[in-house]
Chains A and B, each alone.
Chain A
């Protein structure tokens, strides 16, 4: 009996296996379960990925660096939030990076990374990203993969229609999602309509240094400016912003901002306004906003408060701004690589609206206006329409391009990516995402030269896709192969925070420029100890400065006496290593701050307030060599009234 049972159970299992095999073969692609998908994303140990992908960290405030197609996470670049691991926002050198007109802000909400371009192609020099909550734009250097500049954007609230880059990185732009009183003042909220304003900001980028300067702001009607993209090629010189809440509601926007059948895309001829400003146009307006710059030679950031901005009233520059009527609270505003098509995703519509840049210019030339809003001419919807992708899905958000005449749009509500053809507007393919996709990204997919090959869907919800981790589960990215007629899901991988937008570039364009170390001879940090001769401990009242060095595997000095309770002790630590990938860390017991993680040739500083008498150890936190465990030191802390003199040393260092 037993045997029979076993045998029949065996048969049953085989039968189940066969059935499930059949299911697998007949159903749609099973993504990474199919062997060909696995091969396509497999990067053998020691080999490099084909693309770098930079994914916004959303409410983590950071920018994550992944490899594609493998989906491996290489680095989380701290941008708008403190990072105790890297001492970003904790050490004295980087604290100024997070200074704002509201003081030091330890957190941010990062959204839309966009890479610098030359002639409409990715040039791999910098990547920009916006912060939504305390409006800021950051620039990350792609030789060091570090945040090197943060510019606060005044007269802005909810810095969301940002940080997109023009064909030659002439400008990186920002825009306000929430309109506010400008200048800020005490007034009743119910008086919003007609009194609140929105600004669009044009930040000039220095072609050599990359440094950002807020060149001018445009004072727009009090709508919500949601997303933006620059013109490309033939439309270079223009910028397009989607708007919603043209109703100018100030409460229950969920209902009240969804009344109008159409909102607008604002078309901005920035070249025209730039010329106007260059000729002295615009009004100087008092402002207060932080400009924070990290200097690679001093390894330190400085924060400067800027006090003025040039404000442009559209009424003063006729012919520079037009409104393109666009259905149903449009979100994404994406320009195809030729610059002809302006793709708008009316998020409450099931259709996609595509405007024609050529038709727009014709209508402007022939002054065919349907009216105006606060003096800004409104064009006729029918005059500028290039086409409509009918009933493509539910809740369209964003579109990217593959450079071969195809567009890919995300649909949040129906959780899918839809591939359609530019010009014929026919849907070619659709694939599910898991779940609720926001942005999609194709390497170079918002430039004149998309690299195609892959599409990354950036999902808000994962539910059951991974091992559960309590109520909070990861958000995700999903990689699709787009080389064939049909998209194929290859891989999904978890992300940090919320991945809004992303940018990707062929690794070959930047990996050879990636810096390996900082040269000691270029270190201009005011408290650097560049040789052992420079090591010292200096007292100035109750402030003590320790000029310390590290090299495998010791600190110099490693014994310090004469520190007193109530002192403010600065550890200025220089890593003397000049070899690739030999960072040292340092942590001090009782220091109410993070560790330091110091790259070769770099100097960093933390402050320790000794509160207790005793002998207190510090040590290296990054396993640096076989003698890492020996890399330690002691500080003797004496009572406040002690007369023990400062002394320091390392070994029997009497030469």
Chain B
């Protein structure tokens, strides 16, 4: 006598939980829709870290001050392009978002020092530069890899960015 009771209770529970699951599924897809809508709204009102313009922050790292000549050094830029191709394209595309943000137009948003420090000291930047910290979150927590460029190489990459 006892066993059938328990069994039937079990079946009831099973049915119940199945039903619940289905409900949840529907709910979660609803929720998803809602967040997408929300995101779209947010887009209109606040600026993403990658779109923020900050031309005073020099970042954290070995570069405190550099001057850019008005004219682009084409030889240096060509060298920079080569280095960029070898060391950066695993995560960056020149003109569109990939794993990380594209470098196109970066000099309109960041100081040259900030850019070089991001290349040369990504770990330190993510720890100590508020904007770099936010960027990490915007890009899914995917860390910028330190590719151990020399200052000279980072400078050449910067020159290449000016040509984009």
Check: B64 CB closer than 8 A to any chain A CB.
no
Looking at B23-31, B40-48, B95-103, the stretch in contact with chain A turns out to be: B95-103
By beta carbon, the residue of chain A nearest B86 is A531
The answer to whether the Cβ of A655 comes within 8 Å of any Cβ in the partner chain is yes
> Once the chains bind, are A530 and B86 in contact (CB under 8 Å)?
yes
Q: Complex formed: what's the CA distance from A576 to B148 in Å?
A: 11
B6-32 Cβ-contact flags toward A at 8 Å (1 or 0): 000000000000000000000000000
Q: Which residue of B lies closest to A549 (CB)?
A: B90
Contacting pair A582 B145 (CB below 8 A): yes
Check B143 against A517 for contact (C-beta < 8 Å).
Answer: no
On whether the beta carbons of B95 and A655 are closer than 8 Å, the reply is yes
Give chain A nearest CB distance to B53 CB in angstroms: 25
Could you tell me if A655 and B147 are in contact, using CB atoms closer than 8 angstroms? no
Q: Mark A606-640, 1 if CB is under 8 A from B, else 0.
A: 00000000000000000001110000000000000
Q: Which chain A residue shows the least CB distance to B98?
A: A651
**Does the CB pair A533–B90 fall under 8 Å?**
no
Asked if B142 and A627 sit within 8 Å, CB to CB, the answer is yes
Contact A532 B148 (CB under 8 A): no
- CB of B145 within 8 A of CB of A551, answer yes
Contact between A552 and B86, CB atoms less than 8 A apart: no
Complex: A521 Cα to B148 Cα, angstroms? 12
B94 adjacent to chain A (CB < 8 Å): yes
CB distance from B125 to the nearest CB of A (A): 14
**CB of A400 within 8 Å of the partner chain:** no
A342 to B94, CA, bound (A): 70
**With A556-B90, A627-B142, A655-B94: A579-B85 Cβ-Cβ less than 8 Å:** no
Q: How far is the CA of A653 from the CA of B97 in the complex (A)?
A: 10
Chain A residue at minimum C-beta to C-beta distance from B94 = A655
A-contacting residues, B106-137, CB 8 Å: none
Interface residues on A, range: 20 to 34
**Chain B residues positioned under 8 Å from A626 (CB to CB):** 141-143
Indicate which residue in A520, A532, A578, A655 contacts B146 across the interface (CB closer than 8 Å): A578
Q: How far is the CB of B39 from chain A (nearest CB, A)?
A: 19
Complex Cα gap A579–B143 (Å)? 12
Residues of A within 8 A of B141 (CB): 626-627
B93 to A: closest C-beta gap in Å:
5
> B75 on the interface (CB 8 Å rule)?
no
Q: CA of A457 to CA of B74 in the docked complex: distance in angstroms? A: 65
Residues of A within 8 A of B85 (CB): 531, 533
Of A533, A552, A554, A582, which contacts B89 at CB under 8 A? A533
A532 lies within 8 A of B89 (CB): yes
Q: Does A553 contact B (CB under 8 A)?
A: yes
CB of A138 to closest CB in B, whole Å: 30
Docked-complex contact B147 and A579, CB < 8 angstroms: yes
A520-B86 CB under 8 A given contacts A655-B94, A655-B96: yes
Q: Closest A-chain residue to B144, C-beta based?
A: A552
Residues 129-164 of chain B: 1 if any A CB is under 8 Å from the residue's CB, otherwise 0? Answer: 000000000001111011111000000000000000
Please give, as numbers and ranges, the residues of chain B lying within 8 Å of A551 by CB-CB distance: 90-91, 145
Q: Which residue from A521, A553, A576, A579 sits with its C-beta under 8 Å from B142?
A: A553
Residues of B within 8 A of A553 (CB): 142
Chain A residue, CB-CB nearest to B136: A626
- Chain B residues positioned under 8 Å from A625 (CB to CB): 142-143
Please tell me if the beta carbons of B142 and A552 are within 8 angstroms of each other in the complex: yes
B87 near A: Cβ within 8 Å? yes
Chain B, interface size category, equals 20 to 34
A544-603 residues with Cβ-Cβ distance < 8 A to B are: 549, 551-554, 556, 576-579, 582
Report whether A554 and B99 are in contact in the complex, using a CB–CB cutoff of 8 Å. Answer: yes
Instruction: Give which listed residue, B86, B95, B99, contacts A521 with CB less than 8 A.
Output: B86
How far apart are the CA atoms of A582 and B143 in the complex, in Å? Answer: 12
CA distance A532 to B85 in the complex (A): 8
A633 to chain B, nearest CB (A): 14
Q: Is the CB of B145 within 8 A of A552?
A: yes
Q: Mark A364-388, 1 if CB is under 8 A from B, else 0.
A: 0000000000000000000000000
- Residues 515-557 of A, flagged 1 when their CB comes within 8 A of B and 0 if not, give 0010011000000001111000000000000000101111010
Contacts of A531 in B (CB 8 A): 85-86, 89-90
A195 to B98, CA, bound (A): 74
**CB within 8 Å of A: which B41-97 residues:** 85-87, 89-91, 93-96
* Min distance, Cβ A193 to any Cβ of chain B, angstroms: 64
Q: Which of chain A's residues has its CB closest to B140's CB?
A: A627
Interface pair A578/B87, CB less than 8 Å apart: yes
- When C-beta atoms are compared, the residue in chain B nearest to A520 turns out to be B86
Point out the residues of chain A lying under 8 angstroms from B143, CB to CB.
Answer: 552, 625-626
B residues within 8 A CB of A552?
Answer: 142-143, 145
User: Interface centre among B91, B141, B148, by most A CB within 10 Å?
Assistant: B148
* Chain A residue at minimal CB-CB distance from B122: A579
Q: How far is the CB of A201 from the nearest CB of chain B, in Å?
A: 43
Interface pair B95/A577, CB less than 8 Å apart: no
B118 to A: closest C-beta gap in Å = 14
Note all chain B residues with C-beta closer than 8 A to A549.
Answer: 90
Task: Give complex CA distance A582, B89 in Å.
Answer: 18
Complex: A530 Cα to B145 Cα, angstroms: 16
Known contacts A520-B86, A531-B89, A627-B141; is-contact A578 B147 (Cβ 8 Å) = yes
Shortest CB-to-CB span from B41 to chain A, Å, is 25
For B145, give its contact among A521, A556, A577 (CB under 8 Å): A577
Q: Is the CB of A579 within 8 A of B148?
A: yes
Give every chain B residue within 8 A of A520 (Cβ-Cβ): 86-87
A421 vs B82: C-alpha distance when bound (angstroms): 66
16 A-B interface contacts by CB (under 8 A): A521-B86, A533-B89, A549-B90, A552-B143, A577-B147, A578-B145, A578-B146, A578-B147, A578-B148, A579-B147, A625-B142, A625-B143, A626-B141, A653-B98, A655-B93, A655-B96
New A-B pairs, 15, CB < 8 Å, besides A520-B87, A577-B147, A627-B141 = A531-B89, A531-B90, A532-B89, A552-B142, A552-B143, A576-B87, A576-B90, A578-B147, A578-B149, A579-B147, A626-B143, A627-B140, A627-B142, A655-B93, A655-B96
Q: Which 3 A-B pairs have the closest CB atoms?
A: A579-B146, A551-B90, A578-B147
